[in-house]
Homo-oligomer: A and B are copies of this chain.
Amino acid sequence: MTQSLPAELWPDVQPDAARRLMLAGVESFARRGYHATTTRDIASGAGMSPAALYVHFPSKAALLFAISRSGHEQALALVENAINDPALHGEPVPVMRRVTEDFVAWHARRHTVARVVQYELQALPEQEYAVVADLRRRIERAVRDLIERGLRTGVFRVGDARTAARAALSLGVDVARWYSERSGKAPPELGREYGELVLRMLGAEVG
């Protein structure tokens, strides 16, 4: 069965009308920025009335929050999946390779969603921001812990695990800024190249 784009982007969100509004939100925010977008723009992008939008999202901020939280939850899930994958035995080198591959590929494939999520962070209201900030801290901490484990077992060599974790994630996040379908590289291929670069950056013996 072929899934629609909204269903593929947000498999956990129901009903489909809410997902279509999230996609219309992403497209409007990406084009004009959050502040210059009205709920009317978003509703009409989803082929709905403004009143129908409010059935699903009480405000433009609530819609941005749904997009942002979901994006961060997906990113955290892929990091945790790699850490907990029994085939990788929690070993820092293959786990870090998988984290980078998946994180980079996700930011390439979902570059429009990822841009909105990153660039409009400051537009979130305080409480919603706190939820997203907590997800971000969990992603960073998971990667930092992984790097610290690699430092202890001697497979990584870097001065400061915090800076190294930030740099590794930064490489992935920034893919969303410059990536386009015309870039010539498929997301998984780019992920593999970055996996290699990040392991080298961490001082691991590769290739």
Contacts and interface: CB of A to CB of B under 8 A. Distances in A.
Contacts of A15: none
Give the oligomeric copy count. Answer: 2
Interface in A158-190: 158-160, 163-164, 166-167, 170-171, 173-175, 177-178, 185, 190
A119 interface: yes
B177 A173 contact: yes
Interface residues of A: mostly helix, strand, loop or mixed?
A: helix
A79 to B, nearest CB: 17
Nearest to A177: B118
A156 B170 CA distance: 22
Given A171-B171, A174-B171, A163 B197 contact: yes
Interface of A: 32-36, 118-119, 158-160, 163-164, 166-167, 170-171, 173-175, 177-178, 185, 190, 193-194, 196-198, 200-203
Given A33-B33, A174-B177, A200-B202, 6 more contacts: A33-B35, A33-B36, A35-B36, A158-B197, A170-B177, A197-B201
